[in-house]
């Protein structure tokens, strides 16, 4: 890939609303992405291989459980800090951000919120340091947008549980050491269980031939009567609300992350438009190109403020699930539109791996689908404002 000349846009001086600590965290993450991720990510995506060598660095910039208390190995940071870290990582690649959001919001968060003290002590410090990597199994072959219909189930056998079923489209599954899996008990109530690699009957085949999120490893989770120790049940909360609480945290991080991808595309397109000459002028001199760039910075700025405000509300414990849905939906669509427009500004060069834009664009096709599709988030907003569910 060409040299990383990223210039982060901050048109309305959002920086003035951040604390010195936020800026330090942001600068450390930004510098690490530039040094360790940009030089290798295009090759990893082309080869469809998750770059495991970055796990240690991700842990060091606080990408694993930044909001988890320090007593459990986390960084004890606020929600704005978590968002900023996700934004900087996704500026590099959505697949790398996926690994970080799954580890933080979908594995560490449920263990922290719903786990016993023993489970927290056993898993959280190792997950924070990257010694253990985790994945989150909710989606099934017959149940994507409607996880309440899940068929994966577990039976109480007296001294252990027996887990059977399958999950698919699971980020990190091919290399994860543990999986937080959602399954129904004999009464049909949803619970979370911690499944460990090596348990008999548990396998994690990789899903190949993706055109999107290629630097992230995606796979299945297959449970063929897996014997689960009783102490691996997450007892703190049951019902669909438990995994949905985890999704709130991850969707919040994605709302920030998508802005990072958009900022990277905009920064590249602006620079290219000023350098590339056609008809004896830089293409940035043409009104059509200026319209594209002006609309991009406007949309990025609106998303930055929506998301910063959401972070403040989350830090105050006041953000609603519907507000998170609105931000995830708006920002991912905004980023995808900007990636497509930026790609056009680069002409033919835009389709090459010399620039990050096409990779962002392909990645965002997954981001607009996972963690609740674009349609589902619209219906969550619809339900919130009308009080009527379109799902039943
Ligand atoms: P519904 O009847 O509305 O709700 C069931 C129960 O859950 C409660 N609840 C919530 N609780 C906490 N947080 C939320 N956000 C909640 N939303 C709802 C609700 O109050 C109720 O509680 P109770 O006590 O009455 O039982 O459920 P529904 O079956 O009608 O479904 C609602 C719907 C469609 C919005 C939900 O199923 C949904 O969000 N579907 C989308 C599925 C999804 O997002 N899957 C994501 C899988 S993980 C993933 O994609 C990871 S990608 C990671 C990466 O690589 O970055
Ligand atoms: P479906 O639910 O079959 O939806 C298909 C289409 O129908 C969509 O356009 C949808 O919007 C629309 N639709 C569905 N219901 C309605 C409705 N009521 N009204 C209107 N339209 C509707 N899952 C995990 O559990 N863990 C992971 O780590 C994970 N990682 C992923 C990584 C990648 C790369 C991808 C692509 C997916 C991942 N997922 C993961 C799965 C993801 O959450 C699901 O793909 C997503 O929830 C949608 O489910 P589905 O693909 O089965 O689509």
Cβ–ligand 1 distance for 102 under 6 Å, the answer yes
| Residues of the chain above pLDDT 90, percent | 99
Superfamily of domain 241-386: Butyryl-CoA Dehydrogenase, subunit A, domain 3 (1.20.140.10)
pLDDT, residue 392, reads 87
Superfamily of domain 14-129: Acyl-CoA dehydrogenase/oxidase, N-terminal domain (1.10.540.10)
pLDDT, residue 3, reads 80
CA distances from 10 to 7, 84, 188, 298, 389 (A): 9, 13, 49, 11, 38
| Closest CA to ligand 2's atom 15 | 145
pLDDT at 2 over 90: no
Superfamily of domain 134-234: Butyryl-CoA Dehydrogenase, subunit A, domain 2 (2.40.110.10)
313 token code pair = 């509300």
| Residues of the chain above pLDDT 70, percent | 99
Domain ranges of the chain: 14-129, 134-234, 241-386
pLDDT at 1 over 90: no
The whole-model pTM stands at 0.98
Give me the chain's average pLDDT, please: 98
> What are 80-104's pLDDT values in tens digits?
999 999 999 999 999 999 999 999 9
Cβ–ligand 1 distance for 240 under 6 Å, the answer yes
116 token code pair = 């016993």
In whole angstroms, give the CA distance from residue 236 to residue 360.
38
Atom index in ligand 1 nearest the CA of residue 248 equals 15
Question: Are 129 and 103 contacting, i.e. CB atoms less than 8 angstroms apart?
Answer: no
Stretch 10-30: mean pLDDT: 98
> What are 222-261's pLDDT values in tens digits?
999 999 999 999 999 999 999 999 999 999 999 999 999 9
> What are 283-304's pLDDT values in tens digits?
999 999 999 999 999 999 999 9
> What are 55-75's pLDDT values in tens digits?
999 999 999 999 999 999 999
Neighbouring-strand partners of residue 281: 278
In whole angstroms, give the CA distance from residue 317 to residue 319.
6
3-state helix, strand, coil in the chain (%, to 5): 55, 15, 30
Atom index in ligand 1 nearest the CA of residue 146 equals 37
Q: Which of 181, 369, 372, 390 to mutate to test the pocket of ligand 2 (most atoms within 8 A of CB)?
A: 369
pLDDT at 105 over 80: yes
> What are 128-180's pLDDT values in tens digits?
999 999 999 999 999 999 999 999 999 999 999 999 999 999 999 999 999 99
């Amino acid at each position: 890939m060409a040299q990383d000349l990223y210039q982060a846009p901050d048109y309305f001086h959002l920086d003035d609303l951040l604390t010195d600590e936020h800026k330090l965290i942001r600068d450390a993450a930004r510098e690490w992405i530039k040094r360790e991720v940009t030089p290798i990510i295009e090759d990893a995506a082309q080869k469809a291989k998750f770059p495991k060598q970055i796990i240690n660095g991700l842990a060091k910039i606080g990408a694993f459980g930044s909001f988890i208390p320090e007593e459990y190995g986390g960084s004890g940071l606020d929600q704005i800090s978590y968002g900023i870290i996700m934004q900087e990582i996704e500026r590099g690649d959505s697949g790398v951000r996926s690994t970080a959001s799954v580890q933080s919001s979908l594995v560490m968060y449920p263990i922290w919120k719903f786990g016993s003290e023993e489970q927290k002590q056993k898993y959280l410090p190792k997950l924070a340091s990257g010694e253990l990597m985790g994945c989150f199994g909710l989606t099934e072959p017959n149940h994507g947008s409607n996880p309440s219909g899940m068929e994966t189930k577990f039976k109480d056998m007296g001294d252990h549980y027996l887990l059977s079923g399958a999950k698919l489209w699971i980020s990190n599954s091919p290399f994860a050491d543990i999986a937080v899996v959602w399954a129904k008990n004999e009464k049909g109530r949803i619970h979370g269980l911690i499944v460990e690699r090596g348990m008999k009957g548990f396998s994690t085949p990789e899903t190949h031939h993706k055109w999107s999120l290629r630097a992230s490893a995606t796979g299945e989770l297959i449970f063929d009567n897996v014997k689960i120790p009783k102490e691996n049940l997450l007892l703190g909360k049951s019902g669909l609300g438990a995994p949905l609480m985890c999704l709130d945290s991850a969707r919040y991080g994605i709302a920030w992350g998508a802005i990072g991808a958009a900022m990277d595309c905009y920064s590249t397109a602006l620079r290219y438009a000023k350098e590339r000459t056609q008809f004896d002028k830089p293409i940035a001199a043409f009104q059509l190109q200026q319209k594209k760039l002006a609309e991009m910075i406007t949309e990025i700025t609106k998303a930055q403020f929506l998301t910063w405000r959401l972070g403040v509300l989350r830090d105050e414990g006041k953000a609603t699930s519907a507000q998170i849905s609105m931000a995830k939906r708006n920002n991912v669509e905004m980023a995808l539109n900007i990636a497509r427009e930026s790609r056009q500004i680069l002409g033919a060069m835009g389709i090459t791996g010399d620039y990050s834009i096409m990779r962002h664009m392909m990645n965002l096709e997954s981001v607009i689908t996972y963690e609740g599709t674009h349609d589902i988030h619209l219906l969550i907003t619809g339900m919130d404002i009308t009080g009527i569910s379109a799902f039943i």
